[in-house]
Amino acid sequence: MANTVRGLLPAQQATLDAIRTPAEHRPAYPAGFANELRNDAESALNRLVDAARNIDSRGLWVAKRDLAGVFGCEARYVADADMPFEWSVPTARGTVLHKAVELSTHRRFEPEDAVDAALERLVADDDNLGGFLAEASDGERADLTANCVALLARFGETFPPMQRAWRPAAEVRARARLCGGAFVLNGKYDLTLGSPSPLGGPDRLQRAGKVIIDLKTGSRTPTDPEDLRFYALVETLSVGVPPLGVGSFYVAEGRIEHETVTAEVLNSALRRTIDGIGRLISLRTDRREPRRVPGPPCRWCPISVDCGPGQEWLSDPDD
């Protein structure tokens, strides 16, 4: 990413300062770095290959929400997975905003026009969300548009305008297959800026250059940093070069929490992912009661009415 952009608002400048790293300070990794990480992952996961294939012969797909689920309240994770998902104005808001940001990375739009174009594109996709949007009442559609226009305007005032040289990309799908496809680490980045570049030399060094950003339209959650470290791991295993940094951008706050990616960050993400895969498999095969871990998520839990520990926590959340 280029380091200078003229005429930024203070919040835009703060965001840019948080995510930019001068080229000479960016880490470079030898060409074999990602392979070593892959070997470590596959050595640790080999013992779980049969169990994973028994769950799904096409491979066990693992996303950030699966890991957050098994490291949080397992009972809620299982209940959420069993609930049929229904689109609504609040659940559609993030996807519409991401689409509007995606369209805005390649062309200058006023927020209203970007949101209108995003809605049009999503309806044309003809999937579940497209069906919901096509059949939404005038009130729901106006509510969704107003919400997303406000968020996009906020985003525009607090995130630096996209520069073509940054190579912005939105809604980027990424996958890393491990152990011959027995495990598939799956990610979808809301936004990426920059790209790695080869430096050459005897080690065929690769200089990190990409920043992966999650756009958050809701509140902060304790797993946000771990979610992004998982994405750093997926990126390294799939592209072969670690990203330069990862960050959660909280749209309502207009603030980014950025972390520089290092070998230690990736090793920590790898250990958590291996541990989480073991927990996922145990949860699906051990025929045991899912653990209940009361806490703030009880407030939005679909089974809280019938959950003793949850009701106890909800009756006195400060205790």
Question: Does residue 291 contact residue 82 with C-beta atoms inside 8 Å?
Answer: no
Q: Counting contacts by CB under 6 A, is residue 133 touching ligand SF4? A: no
- The site string for ligand SF4 over 102-121 (x = CB under 6 A, - otherwise) reads --------------------
Closer CB to ligand SF4, 130 or 290, in the complex: 290
> What is the nearest approach in angstroms of ligand SF4 to the Cβ of residue 221?
13
Q: Of all residues in this chain, which one has the CB nearest to ligand SF4 in the complex?
A: 310
> What is the nearest approach in angstroms of ligand SF4 to the Cβ of residue 224?
18
- Which residues inside 275-304 make contact with ligand SF4, applying CB under 6 A? 292-294, 297-298, 301, 303-304
Share in percent of the chain as helix, strand, coil (round to 5): 55, 15, 30
Q: Kindly give, in sequence order, each residue whose CB lies less than 8 Å from that of residue 38, ignoring residues fewer than 6 positions away.
A: 178, 237
- Which residues inside 214-273 make contact with ligand SF4, applying CB under 6 A? none
> What is the nearest approach in angstroms of ligand SF4 to the Cβ of residue 125?
32
Closer CB to ligand SF4, 159 or 313, in the complex: 313
Q: State how far the Cα of 55 lies from the Cα of 285, in Å rounded to an integer.
A: 8
- Which residues inside 16-75 make contact with ligand SF4, applying CB under 6 A? 73, 75
> What is the nearest approach in angstroms of ligand SF4 to the Cβ of residue 219?
16
Closer CB to ligand SF4, 69 or 247, in the complex: 69
Residue in 189, 190, 193, 188 with CA at minimum distance from that of residue 161: 193
Q: What is the SS3 assignment for 9?
A: coil
How far does Cα 199 stand from its chain's mean position? 29
> What is the nearest approach in angstroms of ligand SF4 to the Cβ of residue 295?
7
From 20-28, 192-200, 261-269, 306-314, span contacting ligand SF4 (CB under 6 A): 306-314
Closer CB to ligand SF4, 169 or 303, in the complex: 303
Q: What is the SS3 assignment for 206?
A: strand
Question: Locate tokens 């190579």: which residue?
Answer: 167
Closer CB to ligand SF4, 211 or 298, in the complex: 298
Question: Does residue 272 contact residue 67 with C-beta atoms inside 8 Å?
Answer: yes
> What is the nearest approach in angstroms of ligand SF4 to the Cβ of residue 76?
4
Question: At residue 200, what are phi and psi to the nearest 5 degrees?
Answer: 80, -150
Q: State how far the Cα of 280 lies from the Cα of 276, in Å rounded to an integer.
A: 6
> What is the nearest approach in angstroms of ligand SF4 to the Cβ of residue 248?
22
Sign of the CA dihedral with 34 first, then 35, 37, and 38 last: positive
> What is the nearest approach in angstroms of ligand SF4 to the Cβ of residue 315?
12
Q: Helical H runs in the chain? A: 10-19, 33-45, 49-55, 64-71, 74-82, 89-104, 111-124, 128-135, 138-158, 224-239, 263-285, 308-315
Q: Applying CB under 6 A, which of residues 38, 76, 216, 279 lies at the interface with ligand SF4?
A: 76
> What is the nearest approach in angstroms of ligand SF4 to the Cβ of residue 99?
31
Residues contacting ligand SF4: total by CB under 6 A:
14
Q: Applying CB under 6 A, which of residues 97, 118, 269, 307 lies at the interface with ligand SF4?
A: 307
Question: Locate tokens 């769950």: which residue?
Answer: 55
Question: Does residue 155 contact residue 251 with C-beta atoms inside 8 Å?
Answer: yes
Residues that bind ligand SF4 (CB under 6 A): 73, 75-76, 292-294, 297-298, 301, 303-304, 307, 309-310
